[in-house]
Structure 1
Amino acid sequence: MAFAGTAMLINMAPGPDSLLVVRTSVTQGRPGGLAAVLGILTGCMGWGLATAAGLTALLTASRLAYNTLRVCGAAYLVVLGAMALWHSRKPADPEPARRATVPADRFAAFRVGLGTNLLNPKAGVFYMSLIPQFVPRDAQMFSATLLFTAIDVFELAVWYWLLTRAASALSERIQRPAFHRRLEQITGVAFLGFAANLLTDHS
């Protein structure tokens, strides 16, 4: 219960993943948002498995590994931010929800969600630094890590489900092209801000 409460507070904090879920839900409808969520959750499960196997320790033991992943993640966020700003210059789709019915759009949203999560070294450090603090001394580290990962993924799934529901409902109510352009501008600048924060992080 202590881990679940701590993880929920961290999961609800604004970050690139949450921003991506909101943006995708607004621009592609709820199916697109859920596809992005699935990609993010897949990435979290990957980090959890890597932590259970001890692989994430490389991120703190090797400065080169951490910096390489940090730079790649920042570059990825820059691309997302630039694409959002570019889309804000185009005429808005008057029926954004219909695009979510295209499987290719949902698969693209899944890939973006997966990439945003896996290319964020802080996600790996989160699992490696937080989970061991809650593992009982007499418990098996591998199985306990998988259990805590499952708890975290479940909480994220519930939280992101609420975000997609709220964001897609807002998009359906506000169909003005200016709203969608402004959203792209805000998310574009936010992604660039997250990229700058990742580049300047020397922890």
Structure 2
Amino acid sequence: MNPALWISLLTASAVISFTPGAGAINTMSNALTVGWRRSFWGVLGQQLALVLHIFVVAAGVGVLVSSTPILFNAIRVLGAAYLGYLGVRLILAKPRRGAGSAHPDGSLGEGAWSLLRRGLWVNLLNPKAIVFFLAFIPQFIRADAPLLPQYLVLIATVVGVDAVVMWGFFATAAKPFRRAVGSARGQRILNTVFGALFIGVAVLLLFVH
């Protein structure tokens, strides 16, 4: 991939990553509830989903998903339902003593695997991401050049930029609000806010085509 094309890829990736969505909401929520450092596990899960989306598109499965309304809509409804579930559970979660203890599943001290798994599903159950990559990837892949090195550069750039933006920007942006989770009232307010955001994204995913 020539330098000019890579810079274009880098710029496009940054713009996409800075656009708020379910991943950003999940990252900020994690940073508030489990802390900035541990929120990285959720970010890692989201990046694994991006890699899987790119593999799906590269393998040609993305065309099948985008051209099969039943399959596309099934994934869309599942994605919306999962985000809605996270939102409702977060709103209903009981405040707990100590900062960083209230989670969407109502558990105390959510583990790394749980954070990673939720991050993975948040990004993976979004069929529009597949459609987006179908339009995005061909702009930066040249069929007359070896494909593997190009895809490796594309994955490294997209995932690297998104990880930096999610953890370095969105998770960091949540730091000033960390004190709020130290009180029951603060936890209720933040749980309600982020729960409503999850539900809002779910509604958009379900009804905006």
User: Could you say which TM-score interval applies, normalised by the shorter chain?
Assistant: 0.7 to 0.9
Alpha-carbon distance in structure 1 between the residues aligned to 2:32 and 2:204:
25
- The whole-number CA distance in structure 2 between the counterparts of 1:101 and 1:45 is 30
Verify the 8 A CA contact 1:51 1:145 in the aligned structure 2: no
Corresponding position of 2:141: 135
Please give the root-mean-square deviation of Cα atoms over the aligned residues, in Å: 2.4
User: Compared with structure 1, are the counterparts of its residues 71 and 128 closer, same or farther at alpha carbon in structure 2 (3 Å cutoff)?
Assistant: same
For 1:22 and 1:106, locate their aligned partners in 2 and report how far apart those are by CA, in whole Å: 16
- The amino acid of 2:98's aligned partner reads P
1:167 partner amino acid: A
How many angstroms does 1:49 deviate by? 1.5
Q: Which residue of 1 aligns with 2:118?
A: 112
CA displacement at 1:94 relative to structure 2 = 1.8
Cα distance change, pair 93–174 in 1 and its aligned pair in 2 (3 A): closer
Q: How many residues align?
A: 199
Q: Distance in 1 between matches of 2:181 and 2:83?
A: 27
Of 19, 25, 28, which aligns to 1:19? 25
Superposed displacement of residue 66, structure 1:
0.7
CA deviation map 1:119-140 (0-9, x unaligned): 1112212221111122235334
Q: Give the superposition deviation at 1:153.
A: 0.1
| Ranges in structure 2 where 5+ consecutive residues have no aligned partner | 1-6
TM-score, normalisation: structure 1: 0.87
Separation in 1, partners of 2:45, 2:140: 26
User: 2:142, 2:120 → 1: CA distance?
Assistant: 31
Is the Cα contact below 8 Å between 2:24 and 2:166 reproduced in 1? yes
What is the CA-CA distance between 1:52 and the residue it aligns to? Answer: 1.7
* 1:177 matched to 2:181: no
Instruction: Answer yes or no: is the 8 Å Cα contact 1:31–1:101 preserved in 2.
Output: no
Q: Distance in 1 between matches of 2:85 and 2:139?
A: 35
Letter in 2 for 1:25: A
Between 1:75-84 and 1:45-54, the stretch displaced more is 45-54
Distance 2:165 2:108 in 1: 23
Structure 1: distance between partners of 2:181 and 2:192:
16
Deviation sequence 1:81-137 (CA, Å, 0-9, x none): 1111101xx23432327x9995x6221111110111111112212221111122235
Contact kept, 8 Å, 1:73 with 1:195, in 2: the verdict is: yes
Aligned with 1:9 (options 4, 7, 15): 15
Q: Check whether the contact 1:52–1:141 (CA below 8 A) recurs between aligned residues.
A: no
User: What is the SS of the residue equivalent to 1:69?
Assistant: helix
Distance in structure 1 (CA, Å) of the matches to 2:69 and 2:184? 45
| 1:57 is aligned to 2:60 | no
- Structure 1 distance, partners of 2:76, 2:164, is 28
Q: Kindly provide the CA deviation profile for residues 25-61 of structure 1, in whole angstroms up to 9, marking residues without a partner as x.
A: 1011124311101110111111111222122112212
Q: Does structure 1 conserve the Cα–Cα contact (< 8 Å) formed by 2:100 and 2:181?
A: no
Change (3 A) 1:39 1:111: same
2:4 is aligned to none
